[in-house]
Amino acid sequence: MREFGLIGRSLGHSFSQTYFTQKFHDLGLADCRYGLFELANAAELPALLRANPGLRGLNVTVPYKEEVWPFLDEVVPAAARIGAVNVIDVRPDGRLVGHNTDYIGFRESLRRFFPGRGPGAPALVLGMGGAAKAVEAALHDLGIPYQLVGRRPGGPGLTYADLTPKVLAAHPLIVNATPVGTFPHVDEAPDLLYGALTPGHYLYDLVYNPRETTFMARGRAAGAHVKNGFEMLCLQAEAAWDIWNLPA
């Protein structure tokens, strides 16, 4: 039996198990199984692996995309550049190799969604965690300038209080790279002046459960284009599957 799974602190929102279980069924892989592993902290990873010797690969979600690093034997250069890991390849010799497929999934999904790529179409990235790091790398490679937005004054970017109508008007792309609005907290949304949005805005929410977040619904009501993170999830999951099936 080859086992795979997802680690995180709270996984009730996740679609990954359903996605991979269906994939295994479609491919006729009766010897593959995908589990959900809620960890109180990243330091529980070694014990998880000892208790599940059949594990061959793990996805990593919030808040452990940065915290798992000390427990890895290697991080591939692409993930090291991003500064976050969302895929762990458990090699046959037991070595743990970190990858980032969030970057791949977001980059390819954004190509299909946002037509205004280039220096004249800057973005706001809401959040400064591991998911935001993958978004930053993708925007950089697509030639889209961006500013980070966080909650604490004095940080490396803007705060939500800085997002005036003028600032919003100058940033047609807004990416929610926080978990705000994820099931079951579906009534929550990033603190924006949604009334200042226009049909020229594109709102991309990395959250995919619920299908339409409050962030998206309020943007849509203002005429903005909106997209959730489901396509990104699928693209990054396929990239993870490719990694787990690389020759040893």
Structural domain containing residue 151:
103-231
Model pLDDT, residue 248: 63
Q: Which of 43, 48, 224, 69 is nearest to 133 (CA)?
A: 69
- Residues 7 and 124 reside in one and the same domain: no
Residue 238 lies in a domain: no
**65 flagged as catalytic:** yes
* 110 and 78 share one domain: no
Contacts of 56 (CB under 8 A, 6+ apart): 2, 3, 4, 89, 90, 244
Are residues 174 and 85 located together in one domain of the fold? no
Q: Residue 131: what are its φ and ψ, rounded to 5°? A: -65, -40
Token pair of 175, please? Answer: 């990416």
Question: What's the domain count of the chain?
Answer: 2
Which of these is catalytic: 23, 65, 166, 227? 65
Considering the domain boundaries, does residue 150 fall inside one?
A: yes
Residue 72 structure tokens:
């890895």
* Secondary structure class of 210 (helix, strand, coil): coil
14-50: pLDDT as tens digits: 899 999 999 999 999 999 999 999 999 999 999 999 9
Residues 34 and 111 in one domain: no
Task: List Cα–Cα distances, 119 to 89, 140, 148, in angstroms.
Answer: 36, 10, 16
- Is 246 a domain residue? no
The answer to whether residue 244 sits within a structural domain is no
Domain with 85 in it: what CATH number?
3.40.50.10860
Domain co-membership, 136 together with 32: no
Residues 222 and 109 in one domain: yes
Q: Which residues contact 91 (CB under 8 A, 6 or more apart)?
A: 97, 248
Residues 51 and 73 placed together within one structural domain of the fold = yes
Last residue of a domain, one of 79, 99, 119: 99
User: 242 lies in a domain?
Assistant: no
Instruction: Extract the residue ranges of the chain whose pLDDT is less than 50.
Output: none
Q: Could you tell me the CATH number of the domain that includes residue 121?
A: 3.40.50.720
What confidence score (pLDDT) does residue 186 get?
97
Distance CA 63, CA 96 (A): 19
pLDDT of residue 34: 98
- The answer to whether residues 66 and 167 belong to one domain is no
Residue 154's pLDDT is 73
Identify whether residues 142 and 164 lie together within a single domain. yes
Report the b/e string of 139-178 with b at 16+ CB within 10 A.
Answer: beebebebbbbbeeeeeebbeeeebeeeebeebbbbbbbb
